[in-house]
Amino acid sequence: MDSHGQYEQRVVWTVVGTDIGPLMLAATRDGLVNVVFHATDAARDQALERLAAWLGTEPVEAPGSPLLAEAIRQVAAYFACGRQDFDLPLDWSLISGFNREVLRELASGVPYGSVVGYGDLAGRVGRPGAAQAVGMAMGANPLPVVVPCHRVVESDGGIGGFGGGVETKRRLLALEGVLPEPLF
C-alpha cells in the first residue's frame, strides 16, 4: 500500500524466447497487460517506457513472478503446439471503447486455426462498415498472440498488416495450420 492506503499498481515483466523471436510479457495483479514482439533491447526499453507512462509505475523485471508464471507456461505451450487457447486473466487497462470491444470479440469468437475478415469482425460487434476501424483496433492490440489479431485478414484473401510484421503473422498462421509452413 502507498501512504494513502491505496494499493500501488505493480507491473512485472520478462522476455521469453519463441519461434517468432523474443516476446516481452508484462503483467499487473489484474492479469497479463502487454505482449511485445521482437523484444530486443531497444524495442523492450521503448515498451517499458510506454508502460511506465500509461500505468504510472516503473515496470520491474521479474521472470520468476507468480504474476507471470502461467502466462510464460501457456505461451511456451502454444509455440510447442500443445495449446490452442489461452486461459489467462487479462488486464484490459491499456485499451478502451470500440478497440476493447473488438479485441474481446476476437479473443472469444475467433478460435485457433481460423481467420476472420476485418469487415466480418466489425459486423460481429454491431458496426458493419467499420473494417478500417477494426484494422486500427488490431494495430492498437496490447496483447498480440494471446488476443489473436494475427487471425484477422483481408476479405479478398490478402493477409493484411500486422504490428509484429507480415512475416511474423505468416508464421503464426502457419503454426495454427491456416497457412503452409514456409519452405525456407
Q: Give the catalytic positions in this structure.
A: 149
Q: For residues 161 and 153, what is the distance between their CA atoms, to the nearest angstrom?
A: 8
For residue 119 the three cell numbers come to 469487415
- H/E stretch holding 26 reads strand 23-28
Calculate ∠ Cα 177-169-107, nearest 5°. Answer: 75
161: phi then psi, degrees, rounded to nearest 5: -85, 175
Q: For residues 102 and 113, what is the distance between their CA atoms, to the nearest angstrom?
A: 19
- H/E stretch holding 152 reads strand 152-153
* 104-126 per-residue burial string, b: 16 or more CB within 10 A, e: under 16: ebbbeebeeeebbbbbbbbbbbe
